[in-house]
Amino acid sequence: MKIAVGSDHRGFDIKQQIMAIATELGHECIDVGASDNNPVDYPDMAYLAATAVSKKEADRAILSCATGIGMSMAANKLNGIRAALCHDELSAQISRDHNDANVLCLSADQIGVVLLRKMVEVWLSTEFSGGRHERRVRKIEAIEQGKDPREI
C-alpha cells in the first residue's frame, strides 16, 4: 500500500517513526513534509497528504501535529477524505472497520512509541467491514455533495 505521511514541525519526530513502521510493514511512504523541526503550518501538509489520497496517488495517509486536531480538521475539508483523529488502538481499528477512514491523524504530544506502533499496525492492517457501515459511509459522501443524508 502507498501511504502519504505528513506532519507539521511538532509532529516531525513522530512522522519519522510512522514512516519507519510503515516501511517495515512493507508499505511505500510518500513524505509530504515537514522536512525538519522548523515551524510550518499544519494545513499545508494536511492538504498535500489528503490530496494525494483524493487523487488516488496514495491509498491512505497518516498525519501528525501536536494534538492531531488541526490535521484532522484540515484533511476533512477535501472531498473523499475521511480523516479520523485517534488516540488509542481501538479507535484506530474502529476508524477503519466501521468508518473506512482513509486518513489517520495522531497527536505527537500524547502518543508514546509503543502505542504509536500498535495504532499504525492496526490501522494499516484493518479493512473496512462494509455491511451496515457501508450505508453510513455513503451518507458521509452525500453530505460532501451537499445532499441531505436522510434521503440516502
Q: Which residues are catalytically annotated?
A: 65, 98
Nearest alpha carbon to residue 43 among 96, 83, 95: 83
Nearest alpha carbon to residue 120 among 36, 64, 78, 79: 64
Q: Which residues are registered as beta bridge partners of 63? A: 6, 105
- 81 Rama class: left (phi>0) / alpha (psi -120 to 50) / beta: beta
Other C-beta atoms closer than 10 Å to the C-beta of 63 total: 31
Element (H, E) at 40: none
